[in-house]
Structure 1
Amino acid sequence: MASLPSRSGALAPQNVEKIARIAQDYEYNPLIPLRYWLRSAATLIREARIYEREGQDEQAYLLLFRHAQLVLVNLAKHPDAKDEKYRKALVDEEKEVQKSLEKLEVLKPRINKRYERYAQMMRERQANKEKHGTNTVSISEGRPYDPAFSGIAEPLEAGENKDLAVKLARKEISRRETVRRAGRHTALSPEEQRSRRTAGVWGDWENALGDGQEMDNDLSKRIREVRVNMDYTDRRETQKAIPQPLTTTSSLSAYKYPTVPRQKPLEIEPTQTPMDLQVDTGRDRYPPSLPPKELLKDESRFDLNEPPPRPNKVSPTPAPAVPEKIQRADGNEAHPDLNPSSFTFKPSAYLENGTPLRTIFLPPELRMQFLALAAPNTRRNLETCGILCGTLISNALFISRLLIPEQISTSDTCETINESAIFEYCDSEDLMMLGWIHTHPTQTCFMSSRDLHTHCGYQVMLPESIAIVCAPSKNPDWGVFRLTDPPGLKTVLNCTQTGLFHPHSEYNIYTEALRPGHVFEAAGLEFETVDLRPRESQS
């Protein structure tokens, strides 16, 4: 039997049972407003589609399963689920689940076949070791599992291939835009879309989500049985795990999906711990000594009556010429191939619990463009905020759009309004929300307690989400941050304090994300700006 391709950085493939368990390993908190969870659900689908197109079957399966579990088990029971304004969004997510279930059944045999090939190879190696007394080490020994590296793409170091990343982004984003524009000509009319959303059983969505409504798809039934079996699984978790021998995968229909497990960090060998695991708390440089900011809060939603303004493309600094060869993870060189499925960018950093973080490529000019748009507010000592949008290419995230939402600002607060305009725009442009940026006109560069609560809504389902703080009158004048995990993310998730200023029980709640973190500035990376504010608010 043919063995898997040998490549540097390769990890052992997993079967669908293991992937399903990993997919359910995330922190869910019903205290977070449903609108944030719906945004996370939409992001999961966008990521899954891209991984699927790039041939990353395991990562696509993980994200599709996580989306289905999130929607069917958690969002259906969210305290805000009865609110009429979320009815359409929940129905749409249920319809996405039905599509996902079909894709999961298609991906399952491909994933299991790859796993079975690997299992056979390992059995042959073990037999050879016993026969000849040689030592053979598993290609995944001592490494955290990352499904993005279970395919056949060549892993690349982000910092050594920024020029290639820029060239790839220009080509791939242009290609996707061409496909998207072509698709608009054949899209359904708004009337047809509304009719389909409310047709059939989905018009009675509460009963459809209830325990009495049977789902036609057997996989969907098993996912929804998660809640029923929760108590039993929790009891089993207290028992000592028994190692299982490496065998071929059993049929999915014979597998009963487990409940959402308690959050457990991925294990990392001490010798494998990268420098990025060292936490920079910003203790000396970013003390939260000034009044915090108001929590971004707006429950309003509305339908757009007109298309968003035409984006303004920023002419970036010309990127250096892409070398004829690229630097591979093993130190060797290879000719560049701009097909996104031919390689994958390695994680550039890790969460404190060992979970890998995908690289974010940031245009260097974006910050100055944002400060120019915010200048009128800054002169009046008013804050300004923007949304960082982008896309996923070859297991890396590229910020390609700066979105300035409609907002109400004071000297210490910046509150977005008409949030549905943000969601509608990102949906229409197939963009992911990768974080946010805001100014501190007179304050230092730090994350206040309320900033941390705001960012929690971004990072809860997309660990790579970043917050850029610009303090033009101070030194340092800007910073890129993320919550630590642990303890930051869980501390903020569990915090119920609502005052303008409140301390948290943990100190090292956030850390820097710009190198040596997972964010890289990439010269030549193009981006566009879209200002959704009324014209009178822009000057």
Structure 2
Amino acid sequence: MDRSSLATRPMSIQELIERASKFEWNPRINFKYWARAAETLHREGKAYLLDRNLPQAFIVLFRYSILVADHLRTHPEAKDPDNRRLARPLQHRLPDVLATLEDIKPEIRESYEQWTRLSSTRRDPARSGRLHAHTSSTSSATHHDVLDPALAWNYQSPTEILDIRDREHQDLAVDLAKKEMRRRRLAGSWGPDVSKYRDQGPPSADDTDLRRQMELARRQLDQSQSYGGGSSYDDDVVTPTNYSYPSIRRSSPARHEPIPAPLSVPQGPRPLPPRPPKGPPLVAPLSPKKPPPRPQKEPLASYNNATEYTPDLETAPARPPKTLDEPKRVTFAPNRYLENGEPLRPVFLPRDLRHSFLKKASRNTERGLEMCGLLCGVLINNALFINHLLIPDQKCTANTCDTESEEDIWKFCDDKDVIIIGWIHTHPTQTCFLSSRDQHTQSGYQAMLNESVAIVCAPRYEPSWGAFRLTNPPGLGEILRCSDPAVFHEHECKNPYVEALQPAGHVYEADLDFQVEDIRKQKGY
């Protein structure tokens, strides 16, 4: 399989901080949606750490720290007892998230510095520094230069970046996801080892903002002890004992994962014998059950076909030796973008999921009542795969449906180790479209997860179903700023949402297995 030419330059720590900080906090969105967003960010960070996609992991975990430490406590619904219970585990997890951000900085910094050194040695530094981004000819963002940290060049662990537009690559994405989901089921809970990033060295100038943010969060923790000390949360509220939320564990990596690369690699086109250690080893010793690493026989080949990012052999650093059981790393590049140029990761939707949902909703549909479900799934190789349809407790009317018992939803996501990728609901008496109420609901999902999808099923009309996302801009921004209290009202923008299914959108139907989980206390209304 040929390496693609979709890699972008690595981003500096400061650039990653700026990207992570770029989101619109809006207290008009219900607290439960922001809490869900924080939970999703944490699970995304775990997934990217497992894939060793450290720049993207840094962005989502730093964004988590901002959302939890700075914003949730100021939400007007923060004093509600149920919301205090939702916020408590998010806050308790914050120290581990901050520690992980510090842990992964050295390798991110090293990749950026390596790229900078290589760029300075080329004949045309300006050309090598030019952003190389992939955009589809049919994308609405072809006029944008997109720097995607999920596709960043990394000399320590080169990755095959594949174009998801290729049907073979779509099939490969599904096959790899099935294999990984099966592995996770057999292995039980999983978590990446971040302790290997401990040797950080002296702080650099671009760490200032991160350290200031982290110190602020630490002071808040010291003063409040779970959002006390003048915050919106009471100290006497404890997390329910029937479940707990995972933290990013410092457990040993699974044996099939690649041995982490050293933070500094000797340069040169020829293989070098191992040097005597100057201090504590940067890489954990190999298990006696594992074969020893083979020596590197030739210098690192071209990382991809993009001349801007193919280092000269004379200056390319040698790749660390691979172990026999190191899997090939693959990342799938987006081929759709938001209207503001941000990339949309591909979402794979089980082909039969909506039929299963309509069977569950049939009793409500006969009564003319709406019903909703949550689309839950996993992040693998920079693509999202829906593998669970969750039917939560909800309040249903002829024109609305609202989820309830948020803690049960969180427990389910915790037990299955999934994130909420979107939602599905019926229009038993209306056509297939997103009402103004639906648009406000979708804004809660899409505020932190651009790829969130809203599926509408209108069994009495044609088309009988559709998948949608809000435009951004103008749709998401206008709806977040809307304060109209009426259930149904008009929005000024003419195109608040668009089709999300292929070929126009980022959602692919696929032959994926999925489970239907009905956790309603009452199965009918």
Question: Would the TM-score normalized by the shorter structure come out above 0.5?
Answer: yes
Code of the residue aligned with 2:349 in structure 1: it is L
Q: Does 1:171 align with 2:179?
A: yes
The answer for the alignment partner of 1:208 in structure 2 is none
CA contact (8 A) 2:85 2:239 kept: no
Code of the residue aligned with 2:22 in structure 1: it is D
Q: Does 1:345 align with 2:358?
A: no
TM, length-normalised to structure 1: 0.68
Q: How far apart, in 2, do the equivalents of 1:341 and 1:77 lie?
A: 44
* 1:505 CA displacement: 1.5
Flag structure 2 segments of 5+ consecutive residues without an equivalent. Answer: 134-144, 192-199, 214-237, 244-302, 307-324
The answer for the alignment partner of 2:146 in structure 1 is 144
Q: How far apart, in 1, do the equivalents of 2:124 and 2:450 lie?
A: 40
The answer for the alignment partner of 2:83 in structure 1 is 86
- Cα deviation per residue 1:140-186 (whole Å; 9 max; x = unaligned)? 24631111001422111224222212211211112122233699xxx
Quick check: 159-168 or 96-105, which moved more? 159-168
Q: Does the residue aligned with 2:27 lie in a helix, a strand or coil? A: coil
Q: Does 1:367 align with 2:354?
A: yes
From 4, 18, 23, the counterpart of 1:21 = 18
Q: How far apart, in 2, do the equivalents of 1:512 and 1:436 lie?
A: 15
Q: How far apart, in 1, do the equivalents of 2:424 and 2:3 lie?
A: 42
Q: How far apart, in 1, do the equivalents of 2:208 and 2:370 lie?
A: 56
The answer for the alignment partner of 2:341 in structure 1 is 354
Q: Aligned runs of 1:460-479 on 2, under 5 Å? A: 460-479=447-466
Q: 1:329 to 1:426 in 2, by over 3 A?
A: farther
CA contact (8 A) 2:432 2:463 kept: yes
CA contact (8 A) 1:61 1:104 kept: yes
- Cα deviation per residue 1:377-432 (whole Å; 9 max; x = unaligned)? 22222222111000100000000000111223233222323232112211222110
Q: How far apart, in 2, do the equivalents of 1:57 and 1:182 lie?
A: 17
Flag structure 1 segments of 5+ consecutive residues without an equivalent. Answer: 184-218, 220-248, 260-300, 307-327, 332-337
* 1:352 CA displacement: 0.5
Q: How far apart, in 1, do the equivalents of 2:326 and 2:372 lie?
A: 35
CA contact (8 A) 2:3 2:304 kept: no
* 1:137 CA displacement: 4.2
Q: 1:34 to 1:341 in 2, by over 3 A?
A: farther
CA contact (8 A) 2:368 2:398 kept: yes
Code of the residue aligned with 1:347 in structure 2: it is P
CA contact (8 A) 2:31 2:77 kept: yes
The answer for the alignment partner of 2:507 in structure 1 is 519
- Cα deviation per residue 1:421-467 (whole Å; 9 max; x = unaligned)? 11221122211000100111121100000010111110011010000
Q: 1:446 to 1:7 in 2, by over 3 A?
A: closer
* 1:254 CA displacement: 4.5
CA contact (8 A) 1:304 1:421 kept: no
The answer for the alignment partner of 2:204 in structure 1 is 250
The answer for the alignment partner of 1:11 in structure 2 is 8
* 1:17 CA displacement: 1.1
Q: How far apart, in 2, do the equivalents of 1:170 and 1:17 lie?
A: 36
Q: How far apart, in 1, do the equivalents of 2:25 and 2:149 lie?
A: 22
The answer for the alignment partner of 1:116 in structure 2 is 113
Q: Does the residue aligned with 2:340 lie in a helix, a strand or coil? A: coil
Code of the residue aligned with 1:24 in structure 2: it is S
Q: Does the residue aligned with 2:18 lie in a helix, a strand or coil? A: helix
Q: 1:430 to 1:9 in 2, by over 3 A?
A: same
Q: 1:505 to 1:95 in 2, by over 3 A?
A: same
Q: How far apart, in 2, do the equivalents of 1:391 and 1:129 lie?
A: 41
Please provide the CA RMSD for this pair: 3.1
Q: Aligned runs of 1:271-310 on 2, under 5 Å? A: none
Quick check: 54-63 or 28-37, which moved more? 28-37
The answer for the alignment partner of 2:298 in structure 1 is none
- Cα deviation per residue 1:39-64 (whole Å; 9 max; x = unaligned)? 11110010001101111010111111
- Cα deviation per residue 1:225-253 (whole Å; 9 max; x = unaligned)? xxxxxxxxxxxxxxxxxxxxxxxx93455
From 38, 41, 45, the counterpart of 2:42 = 45
Code of the residue aligned with 1:463 in structure 2: it is N
Code of the residue aligned with 1:518 in structure 2: it is H
Q: Aligned runs of 1:36-435 on 2, under 5 Å? A: 36-125=33-122, 128-129=123-124, 136-138=127-129, 140-141=131-132, 143-150=145-152, 151=154, 152-159=158-165, 160=167, 161-180=169-188, 250-254=204-208, 342-435=329-422
Q: How far apart, in 2, do the equivalents of 1:6 and 1:84 lie?
A: 52
* 1:373 CA displacement: 1.4
Q: Does the residue aligned with 1:80 lie in a helix, a strand or coil? A: coil
Q: Does the residue aligned with 2:384 lie in a helix, a strand or coil? A: strand
CA contact (8 A) 2:184 2:190 kept: no
TM, length-normalised to structure 2: 0.70
Code of the residue aligned with 1:456 in structure 2: it is S
CA contact (8 A) 1:154 1:344 kept: yes
Q: Does the residue aligned with 1:537 lie in a helix, a strand or coil? A: coil
Code of the residue aligned with 2:405 in structure 1: it is N
CA contact (8 A) 1:20 1:257 kept: no
**Percent sequence identity over matched residues?**
43
Q: How far apart, in 1, do the equivalents of 2:176 and 2:20 lie?
A: 29
More helix by share: 1
* 1:94 CA displacement: 2.3
The answer for the alignment partner of 2:251 in structure 1 is none
CA contact (8 A) 2:3 2:161 kept: no
Q: Does the residue aligned with 1:521 lie in a helix, a strand or coil? A: strand
Q: 1:408 to 1:254 in 2, by over 3 A?
A: closer
Q: How far apart, in 2, do the equivalents of 1:385 and 1:417 lie?
A: 11
CA contact (8 A) 1:302 1:421 kept: no
CA contact (8 A) 2:7 2:304 kept: no
- Cα deviation per residue 1:279-323 (whole Å; 9 max; x = unaligned)? xxxxxxxxxxxxxxxxxxxxxx996979xxxxxxxxxxxxxxxxx
* 1:139 CA displacement: 5.8
Q: Does the residue aligned with 2:515 lie in a helix, a strand or coil? A: strand
Code of the residue aligned with 1:485 in structure 2: it is N
Q: 1:253 to 1:345 in 2, by over 3 A?
A: closer
